[in-house]
Amino acid sequence: MNRYTALFVALSLTAIAPAYADLEGAMKDRVEARHDAVKDMAEQRYDAAKNKCDALSGNTKDVCMKDAKAAYTREKSEATADEKAGKAHAESVSDQAEANYKAAKERCDQLSGSAKDACVSSAKMKYSQ
């Protein structure tokens, strides 16, 4: 591969590269925000359900309160599970970007001089290293 071809490939990769810059952090922030919103909604629904139960008495009230608490616990645990899965996915994306960067950098080793520098620079920009 001549020097101009290598430079062209490096520049074109830079132009079409997805932005991995702080992708993991952004994904985790979004997951945490969603978790907080779902948790807040669960608390609001729980409060509303408890208010409905206040009008009841005896065992019917006890059953109503237990049902409300069960629904609240279920929603919170589902939100927590979703948060953990989202964070794991964000970490996976980051790991993939790191592996792709290492592979791209290895491909640059067959070049030399300014073509190699351009190739490595392109890989760094593409995978935010």
pLDDT on residue 20: 53
pLDDT of res. 19: 52
At residue 7, the pLDDT reads: 45
Per-residue pLDDT of the chain (129 residues; tens, 9 = 90+): 445 444 444 444 444 444 554 666 777 788 888 888 889 999 999 999 999 999 999 999 999 999 999 999 999 999 999 889 988 988 898 899 899 999 999 999 999 999 999 999 998 888 876
DSSP 110: T
Q: Identify the pLDDT of residue 23.
A: 66
CA distance 129 to 127: 6
Written as six digits, the tokens of 109 are: 């080793």
Amino acid of residue 29: D
Q: Does pTM top 0.85 for this prediction?
A: no
Q: What is the pLDDT of residue 30?
A: 84
Residues 24, 97, 88, CA angle at the centre, nearest 5°? 45
Burial class of residue 126 (count of CB atoms within 10 Å of its CB; 0-12, 13-18, 19+): buried
